[in-house]
């Protein structure tokens, strides 16, 4: 098969959560165990960091990978979903897995795929682990897909586990309370492996403390060790002053990820780095600073309050649940613009009413839908938004909606595109 034929086979044969939702989820890790056994159990030959959380796990994963790269380590990075190219999910030192490697892996695994009918995510995890071993990476940063306990990535025994935060998302799969969701995320805590929790939340803290005690794992809350003393937005940069609560020392970092919400992710990353240094990894202060300043360049991260056009300014953000939209709303409050125009599309299984209630009523809206089965039709989204007091028109796809916004925008307007990862991923890279 060609690469394109291989992708079409994967999309057709392997149920993909990002496209079809809960129907793609397998309720245990049996298939992943089988798939990895077929290729020599590569997960047993990797040193890893495992990262879960409702929001921020993608940015946190990319920040850590960038710091390891800046320190000279050959670094694997597994994340999901992708924005434009499937191969974004599997990178070594920022470079995507070659097309030929994807074709070869699927070709070799086709008999097993036919026999056990794995999900898209399960086969991708096995592909990533084998590739990282083939490439002889020094470390692999592994982001969970959904939850943790039953996630396909949870067959690794990492050097460090990280849980960024807990929020109400994927409730139809993970549970309808913070405690239930925290229980699923806590599933990545392994015997004797230290774990960093990014943010204290009274309801979830107890869940993590009980699991860590059960597994004899050292538990550290990053927000107990450091806090953001100050921050400043610069063009395409976020400057953060982080204070150590024990020593009262202050350090200033610059991130090429300008979303204010990255400040909390930074606190998590800094504590993760402190523990990894204790484990023997040589991550000097200069590596940390360089890595954080060049996350996008080093790892290829996109879609986090990312400006892709000026005059008018067009910003992409993959925020898609209530907590993500709250972070976007906070960013909008400190952003300068003449008029705000929001291009938005969502998927059916989100808490759409909660998201819409958090969006500003003063903006002009352009509703559309991603080209995936899971997408909520633009007309339905527009009607839900109208009932929430948001005004706008619906369009066939994100690019038509964006063109409509550009046609009406002043040079000092701000156009924000958000609501779903796949929706943002369908935005064309260039504008007339």
What are the residues whose beta carbons fall under 8 Å from the beta carbon of 128, sequence distance 6 or more?
Answer: 76, 78, 89, 90, 97, 140, 142
Is the pTM for the entire model greater than 0.75? yes
Mean pLDDT of 71-76: 98
On the 0-12 / 13-18 / 19+ scale of CB atoms within 10 A, 317 is buried
Q: Residue 170 — left, alpha, or beta (φ > 0 → left; ψ -120 to 50 → alpha)?
A: left
pLDDT at 432: 46
Per-residue pLDDT band for 19 (boundaries 50, 70, 90) equals very low
The percent of residues above 90 in pLDDT, for the chain, comes to 80
CA distance 405 to 313: 11
CA distance 128 to 79: 10
Q: Please, what is the Cα angle at 55 between 309 and 224, to 5 degrees?
A: 120
More confident residue, 171 or 120: 120
Residue 191 has pLDDT above 60, yes or no: yes
pLDDT at 24: 44
What are the residues whose beta carbons fall under 8 Å from the beta carbon of 28, sequence distance 6 or more?
Answer: 150
The string of pLDDT tens digits covering residues 407-430 is 999 999 999 999 988 899 999 865
The string of pLDDT tens digits covering residues 279-337 is 999 999 999 999 999 999 999 999 999 999 999 999 999 987 888 899 999 999 999 99
Spatial CA neighbour of 299 closest among 112, 77, 28, 49:
77
What are the residues whose beta carbons fall under 8 Å from the beta carbon of 205, sequence distance 6 or more?
Answer: 197, 221
The string of pLDDT tens digits covering residues 76-92 is 999 998 999 999 999 99
pLDDT at 408: 96
pLDDT at 16: 55
Per-residue pLDDT band for 21 (boundaries 50, 70, 90) equals very low
More confident residue, 422 or 250: 250
The phi and psi torsions of 197 (rounded to 5 degrees) equal: -105, 125
The string of pLDDT tens digits covering residues 83-127 is 999 999 999 999 999 999 999 999 999 999 999 989 889 999 999
346 by DSSP, 3-state: which? Answer: coil
pLDDT at 176: 57
Sheet holding 226-234, edge to edge: 226-234, 237-244, 250-255
Residue 172 has pLDDT above 50, yes or no: no
Mean pLDDT of 27-42: 93
Contact 365, 385 (CB under 8 A): yes
The string of pLDDT tens digits covering residues 203-224 is 899 999 999 999 999 999 999 9
CA distance 418 to 427: 11
The string of pLDDT tens digits covering residues 334-379 is 999 999 999 999 988 778 999 999 999 999 999 999 998 889 999 9
Spatial CA neighbour of 288 closest among 329, 254, 257:
254
Q: Are strands 226-234 and 237-244 parallel, antiparallel or unpaired?
A: antiparallel
Q: Which helix (H) or strand (E) holds 422?
A: helix 421-425
DSSP state of 136: T
Spatial CA neighbour of 243 closest among 263, 273, 218, 219:
263
Mean pLDDT of 268-279: 97
Q: Please, what is the Cα angle at 120 between 115 and 126, to 5 degrees?
A: 75
CA distance 137 to 133: 6
408 by DSSP, 3-state: which? Answer: helix
């Amino acid at each position: 098969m060609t690469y394109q034929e291989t992708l079409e086979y994967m999309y057709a044969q392997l149920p993909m959560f990002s496209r079809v939702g809960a129907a793609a989820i397998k309720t245990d890790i049996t298939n992943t165990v089988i798939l990895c056994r077929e290729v020599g159990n590569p997960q047993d030959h990797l040193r890893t960091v495992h990262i879960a959380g409702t929001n921020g796990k993608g940015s946190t994963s990319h920040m850590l990978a960038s710091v390891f790269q800046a320190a000279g380590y050959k670094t694997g990075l597994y994340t999901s979903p992708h924005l434009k190219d499937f191969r974004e999910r599997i990178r070594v030192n920022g470079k995507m897995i070659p097309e030929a490697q994807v074709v070869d892996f699927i070709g070799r695994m086709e008999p097993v795929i036919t026999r056990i009918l794995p999900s898209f995510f399960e086969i991708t995890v096995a592909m990533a682990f084998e590739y990282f071993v083939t490439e002889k990476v020094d470390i692999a940063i592994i982001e969970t897909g959904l939850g943790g306990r039953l996630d396909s990535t949870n067959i690794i025994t990492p050097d460090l586990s990280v849980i960024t935060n807990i929020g109400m998302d994927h409730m139809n799969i993970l549970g309808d309370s913070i405690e239930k969701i925290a229980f699923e995320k806590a599933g990545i805590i392994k015997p004797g492996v230290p774990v960093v929790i990014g943010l204290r939340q009274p309801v979830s803290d107890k869940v993590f403390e009980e699991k860590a005690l059960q597994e004899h794992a050292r538990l550290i809350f990053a927000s107990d060790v450091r806090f953001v003393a100050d921050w400043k937005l610069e063009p395409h940069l976020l400057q953060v002053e982080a204070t150590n609560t024990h020593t009262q020392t202050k350090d200033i970092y610059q991130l090429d990820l300008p979303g204010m919400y990255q400040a909390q992710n930074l606190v998590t990353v800094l504590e993760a780095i402190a523990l990894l240094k204790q484990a023997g990894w040589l991550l000097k202060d200069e590596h940390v600073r360089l890595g954080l300043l060049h996350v996008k360049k080093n790892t290829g991260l996109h879609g986090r309050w990312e400006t892709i056009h000026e005059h008018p300014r067009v910003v992409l953000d993959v925020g898609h649940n209530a907590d993500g939209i709250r972070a976007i709303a906070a960013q909008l409050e400190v952003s300068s613009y003449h008029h705000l125009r929001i291009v938005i599309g969502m998927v059916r299984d989100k808490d759409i009413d909660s998201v819409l209630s958090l969006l500003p009523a003063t903006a002009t809206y352009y509703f559309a839908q991603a080209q995936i089965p899971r997408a909520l039709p633009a007309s339905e989204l527009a009607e839900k938004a109208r009932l929430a007091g948001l005004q706008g028109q619906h369009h066939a796809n994100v690019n038509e909606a964006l063109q409509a916004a550009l046609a009406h925008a002043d040079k000092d307007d701000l156009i924000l595109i958000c609501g779903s990862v796949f929706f943002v991923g369908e935005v064309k890279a260039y504008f007339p």
